[in-house]
Amino acid sequence: MRFAAVLLWCSAWMLVAGQSTAVFSAEVNVYSARQEELIKPVLDDFTASTGIRVNLITGNADELITRIVSEGRNSPADLLITTDVGRLYRAKQQQVLQPQQSELLQQAIPAHLRDDAGYWFGLTVRARPVLYAAKRLDEADKAVLHDLTHERWSGRICVRSSGHIYNQSMVAAKLAHHGTAATEQWVRGLVRNFARPPRGGDRDQIRALAAGVCDLAIANTYYLAGMMNDPRDQQAAAEVAVYWPEQDRLGTHINISGAGVATHAPNPAAALQLLEFMVQQDSQQWYAEANHEYPVRPGVAYSQTLQSYGDFKADTLPLERLGTLNAEALRLMDRARWR
């Protein structure tokens, strides 16, 4: 009897274990430069919808690419999620990503926001306009907001360092549109107008703007939106307004957060399935509301905070160009002494 009871208990345990394993019969390993709280709810929804378990590793964007390279064929990474097309381009060049063919992704994501060959795909759009001290600028100031190199702005502009890829991509976009000579002239004029040596992140530029250190700042809108919804920064954010450059010409500079399937992904089908899930209507809506980033999928509503900044015309330059011109942009910024 005792043996029979033990046998029955073991059989029951194996049955439960087998059922538990069946719930997660597939999995996908995600290396993400996005902070866990900015992405995990979507990953949890994916698991609930598909039964595919997501194993999430977060870290520094550049370090994650280096890690996948060093892991080589033994890398467990299935999907790389990172910020700025410059990093996605770098991952492609270092053979970290493999191309994917997906009709769903091609239909959902505009062509300029994804790689032509399918190595990477945009997940959210990030706009980088000019922010200004709404209460301190007079009409003459506002009349020349379109020209950051104007002598009127001498000692009045805050921006983070040239070492950050957001600024490198912005200058790369200038290079793509205007060539080396005109872009270098623009960068030198911008540097002459700095209020202080660049330091800190985008939020630090916004805080400096609110505190009167400068009257203009260049920063991504989702930083300002996050501050507007954070009691610790609401007072500073309330001092700031958004100006959309290039509305009568090329459109305001944008970038993306995006993702690609890893070259040696052990679960490539699940990785692609997750990528497709992240551009579905509901996922894009969550991103827009929670992270205050613009959806890549047309027709998805912005958060109320982003709506308060008004509609804008975005630059439609193929973002691959920002990657190909990154090295030249960095050399130009060094020559102009943008530190």
Q: In the chain, what are the domains?
A: 2-126+256-307 (3.40.190.10), 127-253+320-335 (3.40.190.10)
Helix axes 40-50, 281-291, angle to 10 degrees: 160
Return the pLDDT at 34.
85
Return the pLDDT at 3.
37
Give the whole-angstrom CA distance, residue 226 versus residue 245: 21
Q: Is 299 left (phi over 0), alpha (psi -120 to 50) or beta?
A: left
Selection from 113, 116, 71, 59 nearest residue 95 by Cα: 71
Selection from 165, 234, 160, 243 nearest residue 204 by Cα: 160
Q: Where are the beta strands (DSSP E) in the chain?
A: 26-32, 52-58, 79-83, 97-98, 121-127, 130-133, 157-158, 216-218, 240-243, 254-262, 294-295
Q: How confident is the model at residue 22 (pLDDT cuts 50, 70, 90)?
A: very low
Return the pLDDT at 25.
58
Q: 3-class SS at 42?
A: helix
The set of residues, in sequence order, having a beta carbon less than 8 Å from that of 209 and lying 6+ positions away, is 131, 132, 133, 158, 215, 216, 217, 239, 240
Quick: pLDDT tens for 268-287: 999 999 999 999 999 999 98
The stretch 222-227 carries a mean pLDDT of: 96
The stretch 33-47 carries a mean pLDDT of: 91
Q: pLDDT above 70 covers what percent of the chain? A: 93
Q: How confident is the model at residue 36 (pLDDT cuts 50, 70, 90)?
A: confident
Structure tokens at 47: 């698991």
Q: How confident is the model at residue 19 (pLDDT cuts 50, 70, 90)?
A: very low
User: Running DSSP on this structure, what letter comes out for residue 17?
Assistant: H
The stretch 25-48 carries a mean pLDDT of: 91
Structure tokens at 26: 């597939």
Return the pLDDT at 219.
98
Quick: pLDDT tens for 171-208: 999 999 999 999 999 999 999 999 999 999 999 999 99
Q: pLDDT above 90 covers what percent of the chain? A: 89
Cα 136–Cα 254–Cα 59 angle in degrees, nearest 5: 105
For residues 213 and 199, the answer to whether their CB atoms sit within 8 Å is: no
Residue 315 predicted with pLDDT over 50: yes
Selection from 90, 68, 92 nearest residue 78 by Cα: 68
Cα 265–Cα 269–Cα 270 angle in degrees, nearest 5: 85
Range with the largest mean pLDDT of 10-19, 246-255, 284-293:
246-255
Q: How confident is the model at residue 7 (pLDDT cuts 50, 70, 90)?
A: very low
Handedness of CA 157, 130, 306, 320 (dihedral sign): negative
Residue 231 predicted with pLDDT over 70: yes
Give the whole-angstrom CA distance, residue 88 versus residue 121: 9
Indicate the burial class of 13 (C-beta count within 10 angstroms; 0-12, 13-18, 19 or more): exposed
- CA 74 from centroid of its chain's CA atoms: 27
Residue 261 predicted with pLDDT over 90: yes
Give the whole-angstrom CA distance, residue 255 versus residue 145: 21
Q: How confident is the model at residue 11 (pLDDT cuts 50, 70, 90)?
A: very low
Return the pLDDT at 21.
36
Residue 60 predicted with pLDDT over 70: yes
